[in-house]
Amino acid sequence: MTPKERVQKFFKKEPIDTMPVFSGMGTVTIQAIEKMGVRFAEIHTDAELMGKSAMTSAEMWGFDGVVVPYDMCIPAEAMGRGATLYADVEGILYPTVPTKWATLDDVELPDDYQSLFGEARMPVVDGALKYCLDYDGGKYAVGGWTLGPFTLGGQIMELDVLLKGLAKDKKRVTAFLESMTEYVIAMAKHYQDLGVDYISIREMGSGTDLLSPRMWKTLIKPNLEKVFAALDVPTVNHICGGTDLIIEMMGDCGADAVSVDQKNNVVASREKLGPDALILGNFDPYKTLVTMDAADVDAVIKGCVDAGVDAVWPGCDIWPDVKAENMKAYVEAVHKYGDAPTSAVGRL
């Protein structure tokens, strides 16, 4: 069974040999980048470097799948908001959007989101995805991802204006989020057409650290439902931060799987979502892979499996500057505890 087959069968809930090691967020690490002889800032603007950094990381640590790109600016950048790449900064910094629209009045939405796929770094992402899909005869699973409509909206215009508008200017904000939904669907379909194996929708700014469950139900859920209904490829509904109060609604959005971070009570989520739901999560990637002693990583991964996840996923992007010994311990532990069937996925 190839890594790609393992992940594909996983999403179909068909029996597999062992738990796949993969994520819907970035898994690129500094060791792979250094092996390539490039700097972190360089891999965001070159399709081959982006794709190669993903594949080098996967091979180095034993991942079954990869995800590109690594930053969340690309759709906003394609709409003309620019991107700060920090090319001259020492160390690791992800690109950011420097100039967001200040008010809803300023926002200029295109008539057709398809027209944005040739803009800014959109073609770089396409190239990187193709690189990964072709790599080693298509052996590895390749994930695409986009921000969810609300989080994407927060990349394009000032988040505080958007948050206040949810209550004060509901009609216009609702229309804006519907347009963002169209953008998300267009991007996800584009990546689906390129042949990715799964797509994560990261509505990470919508957890209950920010929004009330009631607001989530009326303003976030309907748009996510539209996104997942529009896609044929396996999908993941990822939200980080507080999700215990909205997990049932997350599971009801139409995605093939839900992904949560370390704040989620997976035992309770499993009870709420039932035995057949695919649940992905939920270790703290920074604590587990950067600060913790390698000897303690095994227990963290076992804890995720014991709680009831079907695949152990980091709760967010893996911070690239990981400890090599912790990465090894993480992958080894997934293989060790992933031999047994999980709630939703059997074993051969």
Q: Which is nearer to another protein, 12 or 168 (CB)?
A: 168
Min dist. Cβ of residue 340 to another protein (A): 30
Q: Which is nearer to another protein, 201 or 345 (CB)?
A: 201
Q: Which is nearer to another protein, 241 or 338 (CB)?
A: 241
Min dist. Cβ of residue 285 to another protein (A): 7
Min dist. Cβ of residue 318 to another protein (A): 9
Token pair of 132, please?
Answer: 């990964």
Min dist. Cβ of residue 319 to another protein (A): 6
Min dist. Cβ of residue 52 to another protein (A): 21
Residues that bind another protein (CB under 8 A): 84, 86, 89, 91-94, 96-98, 100, 159-160, 163-164, 166-168, 208-212, 215, 241, 245, 285-287, 291, 316-317, 319, 321
* Cis peptide, bond prior to residue 264, ω within 30 of zero: no
Q: What are phi and psi of 139, to 5 degrees?
A: -70, -30
Q: Which is nearer to another protein, 183 or 286 (CB)?
A: 286
Whether 52 and 131 have beta carbons less than 8 Å apart is answered as yes
> What secondary structure does DSSP assign to 95-142, as a single string?
-B-S--BSSGGG----S-GGGGGGSTTHHHHHHHHHHHHHGGGTTSEE
Token pair of 178, please?
Answer: 């519907």
Q: Which is nearer to another protein, 117 or 319 (CB)?
A: 319
Min dist. Cβ of residue 167 to another protein (A): 5
Q: Which is nearer to another protein, 150 or 198 (CB)?
A: 150
The CB-based long-range contact list for 224-227 (8 Å cut-off, 24+ gap) reads 224/148, 224/149, 224/253, 224/254, 224/255, 225/253, 225/254, 226/181, 226/185, 227/148, 227/149, 227/181, 227/184, 227/185, 227/188, 227/201
Token pair of 239, please?
Answer: 């939200």
